Amino acid sequence: MKAILTWHSIDDSGSAISTAPGDLRRQLEWLARSDVDVLDLEGLANGGGPRDAVALTFDDAFENFASRAWPLLSDLGLPATMFVPSGHTGRTNGWENGGRLPELPILRWEALARLAEAGLVLGSHSMTHPDLRRLDDPALRREVAEAADWIRRETGCEPCAFAYPYGAADDRVASVVSEHHTLAVTTEFRILGEAETAWRLPRLDAFYFRRAGRLEAFGGKEFASFVDRRRRLRKARRFFSRD
């Protein structure tokens, strides 16, 4: 079994984008001592070897990553990829609206560059975090190309991976992203299949593995069954929310 795991904010608010620091510690410490290989994202996407394996990703570059996630990752020797919304660095996740999610500060370029020097892999999360499907072609290309350019210029890193804002992509969006990156990830909730397109890789949101024992079942039938049930519930919820 292979999967890409993703986190957003590491805080105690209990919001849909939040994982409590204690839960993150439990998850990462289990991965570090388990028989599951923790690989970099490109390595996993390229096959990852014969054993159960995961890659770790963090979206939105929140400041609390530097204080609460990176020390753990570093101490445990676990690789991770951070997806950066280039136009929001040093600001907040102001694209969230409705007051349902916390407004959180995003790391500045200087801090991102230091993390990259220490081993964190930086990927792109667009410039301003829009639904890319709703943009015309020139705006879409700016969101994708300029975001990658900013990461190169400000950190010296080549952003090989891209995370679609809201996980949303169609063939047109994926085609533009493929011109600038070697792979891209969605928020489709499932484990990796035998044959995946590099531009539509699914991820498992660690929010759903906060309960002790959930992530620890990785590789078994119980884990696969839970992921399938959760995937079906998410799909049904999105279908009925259209009405």
Q: pTM for this structure? A: 0.95
Angle, helices 137-155 vs 109-117, to 10°: value is: 60
The pLDDT assigned to 99 comes to: 67
Distance, CA of 96 to CA of 186 (rounded, Å): 18
- Give the amino acid at 52: D
The pLDDT assigned to 240 comes to: 45
The pLDDT assigned to 243 comes to: 41
- Give the amino acid at 143: E
Whether 71 contacts 29, CB under 8 Å: no
Question: Which residues lie below 8 Å from residue 134, measured CB to CB, with a gap of 6+?
Answer: none
Mean pLDDT by 10 residues, the chain (243 residues): 98 95 98 97 92 98 98 98 98 82 96 98 98 98 98 97 97 98 97 92 96 95 95 71 46
Strand (E) or helix (H) holding 185: strand 183-185
Q: What is the DSSP string of 194-235?
A: SS--TTSB--EEGGGG-STTTGGGTTSHHHHHHHHHHHHHHH
Distance, CA of 234 to CA of 241 (rounded, Å): 11
The superfamily in CATH containing domain 2-240 is Glycoside hydrolase/deacetylase (3.20.20.370)
The pLDDT assigned to 97 comes to: 64
DSSP 8-state secondary structure symbol assigned to residue 65: I
The pLDDT assigned to 129 comes to: 97
The pLDDT assigned to 235 comes to: 73
Domain edges within the chain? 2-240
The pLDDT assigned to 242 comes to: 46
Q: CA 161 → CA 105, 120, 123, distances in Å?
A: 23, 13, 5
